Structure 1
Amino acid sequence: MTKRQATLAASLPSWDATQTRILDAADALIAMRGVRGVTIAELARRAGVSRPTIYRNWSDADDVVRAALLRRVIGILAGFDEPATTRTAIVDDVFRFAARFRADSVYRHLLAEEPEAFTRYTLERVGSSQRAILAWLAAAIDAAQDDGSVRRDDPQAMAVMMLLITQSALLSHSTVSELIDEASWERELRAALEGLLRP
Structure 2
Amino acid sequence: MPTVALPNWDATQSRILDAADEVIVRRGVHDVTIAELARRAEVSRPTIYRSWSDADDVVRTALLRRAAGILAQFPARERDRTQVVADVLRFIRLFRGDAVYGRLLAEEPEAFTRYTLQRVGSSQRMIIGWLAQAISAAQPGGTVRTAPPQEIAVMLLLVAQSAVLSHGTVAELIDEEAWERELGAALDGLLRP
Asked if residue 127 in structure 1 is aligned to residue 121 in structure 2, the reply is: yes
Asked if residue 179 in structure 1 is aligned to residue 179 in structure 2, the reply is: no
Please name the residue that 2:94 is paired with.
Answer: 100
* Mapped contact 1:138–1:155 kept (Cα < 8 A): yes
Please name the residue that 1:190 is paired with.
Answer: 184
| Helix, strand or coil at the partner of 2:7 | coil
Structure 1 unpaired stretches of 5+: none
Alignment partner of 1:69 out of 63, 67, 70: 63
**Following superposition, which runs of at least 4 residues in structure 1 exceed 2 angstroms of deviation?**
none
* Mapped contact 1:44–1:51 kept (Cα < 8 A): yes
| Helix, strand or coil at the partner of 1:175 | helix
Q: 1:80-103: CA deviations, max 9, x gaps?
A: 123351100000000110010011
One-letter identity of the residue aligned with 1:80: F
Cα separation, 1, equivalents of 2:178 and 2:73: 27
Cα shift at 1:146? 1.2
* 1:84–1:77 CA distance, 2 compared to 1 (3 A): farther
Structure 2 unpaired stretches of 5+: none
Q: Give identity over the alignment, percent.
A: 70
Aligned CA-pair RMSD:
0.9
Cα separation, 2, equivalents of 1:50 and 1:190: 47
How many aligned residue pairs are there? 193
Cα separation, 2, equivalents of 1:126 and 1:83: 26
| Helix, strand or coil at the partner of 2:93 | helix
Cα separation, 2, equivalents of 1:48 and 1:147: 52
| Helix, strand or coil at the partner of 2:50 | helix
Cα separation, 1, equivalents of 2:175 and 2:29: 30
Cα shift at 1:48? 0.4
* Mapped contact 1:84–1:93 kept (Cα < 8 A): no
Cα shift at 1:148? 1.1
Which segment is superposed worse, 74-83 or 154-163? Answer: 74-83
Cα shift at 1:186? 1.3
One-letter identity of the residue aligned with 1:119: T
| Helix, strand or coil at the partner of 1:174 | helix
State the TM-score, normalizing by the size of structure 1: 0.95
Cα shift at 1:176? 0.3
